Amino acid sequence: MANKKIGKQTVKLQNPPSVIATASIVGPKEGEGPLRLYFDEIIEDENFGEKSWEKAESKLMRETFSKVLKKANKTTDDLDYIVAGDLLNQCLAANFGLRESGVPFLGVYGACSTMAESMSIGSLLIDGEFAKNVVCLTSSHFCSAEKQFRFPLELGTQRPPTAQWTVTGSGGVVLSNEGSGPYITHITTGKIVDMGIKDVNNMGAAMAPAAMDTIVTHFKDTGFTPESYDLIVTGDLGAIGKEICDELIQEKGYNISNIYNDCGLMIFDRERQDAHAGGSGCGCSATVFAGFIYKKLMEGVLNNVLFVATGALLSTTSSQQGESIPSVAHAVSISNTLS
Amino acid sequence: MANKKIGKQTVKLQNPPSVIATASIVGPKEGEGPLRLYFDEIIEDENFGEKSWEKAESKLMRETFSKVLKKANKTTDDLDYIVAGDLLNQCLAANFGLRESGVPFLGVYGACSTMAESMSIGSLLIDGEFAKNVVCLTSSHFCSAEKQFRFPLELGTQRPPTAQWTVTGSGGVVLSNEGSGPYITHITTGKIVDMGIKDVNNMGAAMAPAAMDTIVTHFKDTGFTPESYDLIVTGDLGAIGKEICDELIQEKGYNISNIYNDCGLMIFDRERQDAHAGGSGCGCSATVFAGFIYKKLMEGVLNNVLFVATGALLSTTSSQQGESIPSVAHAVSISNTLS
Helix (H) or strand (E) holding B140: strand B133-140
Same domain, yes or no: B253 and B190: yes
Residue numbers in A near B91 (CB within 8 A): 109, 313
Buried b (16+ CB within 10 A) or exposed e, A57-67: bbbbbbbbbeb
Q: Which of these, A80, A121, A86, A90, lies nearest to B189 by C-alpha position?
A: A80
CA distance B222 to B209: 20
Domain shared by A315 and A167, yes or no: no
- Give the pLDDT score at A79: 98
CB contact under 8 A, A54 and B11: no
Is B105 in the same domain as B200?
no
- A2 has a pLDDT exceeding 70: no
Considering Cα of A338, then A339, then B3, then B9, what sign does the dihedral take?
negative
The CA-based dihedral angle spanning residues B317, B323, B324, B327, taken in that order and rounded to the nearest 10 degrees: -50
Across chain A, what does the average pLDDT equal? 96
C-alpha span between B206 and B281 (Å, rounded): 14
Residue A307: partners with Cβ closer than 8 Å, 6 or more residues away: A115, A116, A119, A233, A285, A289, A293, A331, A332, A333, A334
CB B242 within 8 A of CB B10: no
Task: Report, as an integer, the average pLDDT of B15-29.
Answer: 98
- Name the pLDDT band for A84 (thresholds 50, 70, 90): very high
ipTM: 0.97
Which amino acid appears at position A295 of this protein? K
Asked whether residue A152 falls in the same domain as residue A200, the answer is no
Both A68 and A139 in a single domain?
A: yes
**pLDDT tens digits for range B116-129:** 999 999 999 999 99
The pLDDT value recorded for residue A217 is 98
Where b means 16+ CB within 10 Å and e means fewer, B3-32 reads ebbeebbbbbbeebbbbbbbbbbbbebbbe
Pairing of strands A18-26, A169-176: antiparallel
Residue ending a domain, choose from B176, B198, B231: B176
The helices-and-strands tally (H runs, E runs) of chain B is: 11, 15
Backbone angles phi, psi at B48, to 5 degrees: 50, 35
Contact between B110 and A107 using a beta-carbon 8 Å cutoff: yes
A192 touches chain B (CB under 8 A): yes
What distance in Å separates the CA atoms of residue A120 and residue A189, rounded to the nearest whole number?
A: 8
Q: Which of B176, B207, B235 is the last residue of a domain?
A: B176
Among the listed residues A32, A56, A54, the one whose alpha carbon sits nearest the alpha carbon of residue A46: A56
Q: Does A87 touch chain B (CB under 8 A)?
A: yes
DSSP state for residue A191 in the 8-state scheme:
B
Smallest Cα–Cα separation from B338: which of B221, B227, B185?
Answer: B185
On whether the CB atoms of residues B139 and B97 are closer than 8 A, the answer is yes
Alpha carbon separation from A290 to A38, A174, A293, B141 (Å, rounded): 9, 10, 7, 38
Whether A158 and A187 share a structural domain: no
Write the CB contacts of A156 (distance below 8 Å, at least 6 apart in sequence).
none
Question: Is the pLDDT confidence value at B1 over 60?
Answer: no
A126 and A191 fall within a common domain = no
Closest to A121 (Cβ–Cβ): which among B106, B192, B315?
A: B106
Find chain B residues with C-beta within 8 A of A101's C-beta. Answer: 191-192
A–B interface: beta-carbon pairs under 8 A = 184
**Would you list the DSSP string of A253-311?**
T---GGGEEEHHHHSS-HHHH--TT-EESHHHHHHIIIIIIHHHHHHTS--EEEEEEEE
Region class of A272: left (phi > 0), else alpha (psi between -120 and 50), else beta: alpha
Residues of A in contact with B108 (CB under 8 A): 106-109
If you average pLDDT over residues B313-319, what whole number do you get? Answer: 96
How far apart, in whole angstroms, are the C-alpha atoms of residue A179 and residue A181? 6
Identify the helix (H) or strand (E) that includes residue B26: strand B18-26
In this structure, are A249 and A145 located in the same domain? Answer: no
Instruction: Provide the residue type at B220 as one letter.
Output: K
Chain A hits for B104, CB-CB cut-off 8 Å, are 8-9, 189-191
Residues of B whose CB is below 8 A from A316: 89
Tell me what the mean pLDDT of segment B203-227 comes to.
Answer: 97
A161 and A229 both lie in a single domain:
no
**Count: domains in chain A:** 2
The verdict on a CB contact (< 8 Å) between A89 and B317 is yes
Q: Give the bridge partners for A108, in sequence order.
A: B108
Which of B151, B176, B201 terminates a domain? The answer is B176
Banded pLDDT at A339 (limits 50, 70, 90):
confident
B13 and B161 part of one domain:
yes
Question: Chain A within 8 Å of B317 (Cβ-Cβ)?
Answer: yes
Question: What pLDDT does A10 receive?
Answer: 98
Partner-chain contact A89 B89, CB within 8 Å: yes
Note whether B170 and B313 are same-domain residues. no
pLDDT-derived band at B300 (thresholds 50, 70, 90) equals very high
Q: Could you tell me whether strands A327-335 and A304-312 are parallel, antiparallel, or unpaired per DSSP bridges?
A: antiparallel
Q: Indicate the pTM of the whole model.
A: 0.98
Spatial distance between the Cα atoms of B3 and A8, rounded to a whole number of angstroms: 29
3-state secondary structure of B275: coil
Alpha-carbon distance of A50 to A56, in angstroms, equals 5
Please count the other Cβ atoms lying within 10 Å of the Cβ belonging to residue A272. 10
* Residue whose C-alpha is closest to residue A292's, from A280, A273, A307, A270: A307
Does pLDDT of B55 surpass 90? Answer: yes
Query: Which DSSP letter does residue A221 get?
Result: H
For residue B196, the SS3 value is coil
Q: Is A230 exposed, middle or buried (0-12, 13-18, 19+ CB in 10 A)?
A: middle
* Nearest beta carbon to residue B317 from set A54, A105, A316: A54
- Residues B212-230: what's their mean pLDDT? 98
Instruction: Write down the pLDDT at residue B339.
Output: 75
pLDDT at A123 over 60: yes
Domain encompassing residue B168: 5-176
pLDDT of residue A46: 96
Answer for the pair B236, B28: CB distance below 8 angstroms, yes or no. no
Same domain? B145 vs B11: yes
CATH number, residue B288: 3.40.47.40
Q: Which residues of B touch A96 (CB under 8 A)?
A: 313, 318, 323, 326
Q: What is the mean pLDDT of chain B?
A: 96
The model's confidence at residue A225, banded by pLDDT at 50, 70 and 90, is: very high
Span A178-215, pLDDT tens digits: 999 999 999 999 999 999 999 999 999 999 999 999 99
- Min CA distance, A116 vs chain B (Å)? 11
CB contact B198 to A (< 8 Å): no
> What pLDDT sits at residue B3?
67
3-state secondary structure B34-57: CCHHHCCEECCCCCCCCCCHHHHH
User: Is the minimum CB–CB distance between B161 and chain A shorter than 8 Å?
Assistant: no
| Residue whose C-alpha is closest to residue B119's, from B20, B262, B14 | B20
